[in-house]
Amino acid sequence: MHHDPLPSPQPVQPGRASRRRLFMPSQCSGLYKLPHEVQDRLRAFLMPYRNREAAHRLAAFLARFWSTPRRIVDAFPIDRRALAGHLMLGLTEARVRGAIKTLIAVGFLAPEIPKAGSRYKATPNGLRRKPVLHRFGADFGTLFAQANRRAQHARQRQEPKRPVPVVGGG
């Protein structure tokens, strides 16, 4: 059996030093923190991307609103114009667009395949493109669902047992 020799180390290219360090996202995305499994996987997948900080901010922002147990199965639109300049994100429209592309590339988001028909709708101002809906990628959606179940079980354990009222005790 023949094994190929291990590849020799490549010289460090200028501008790549930041990609070698461990990516530790800042906590700029508000009070919401991603579940540990999601955080670890997303951080690892975002390492090679230059816009990893923006993508992580957007991921935490979207997860805050769309990963709840009742909404996790729904597809949701992402309006980059509305998110541009949002105080919790601090991203421009172009950076939001790039972050969306990065999150799709790493599998955090999956664009919804549009149904048959036109991709445009008529408005008083003419034809407008219909919004592209997104879902969490299969792996990340499963991780969010598991985290939601663990949180629900933890809440149930912490609830105090209420005494059962006795009716007609004499």
Domains by residue range for the chain, with CATH: 24-113+129-158 (1.10.10)
Number of neighbours of residue 118 by Cβ within 10 angstroms: 10
CB 81 within 8 A of CB 138: no
pLDDT tens for each residue of 53-112: 999 999 999 998 888 888 888 899 998 888 988 888 889 999 999 999 999 999 999 998
pTM, rounded to two decimals? 0.72
What pLDDT band is residue 161 in, cutting at 50, 70 and 90? Answer: low
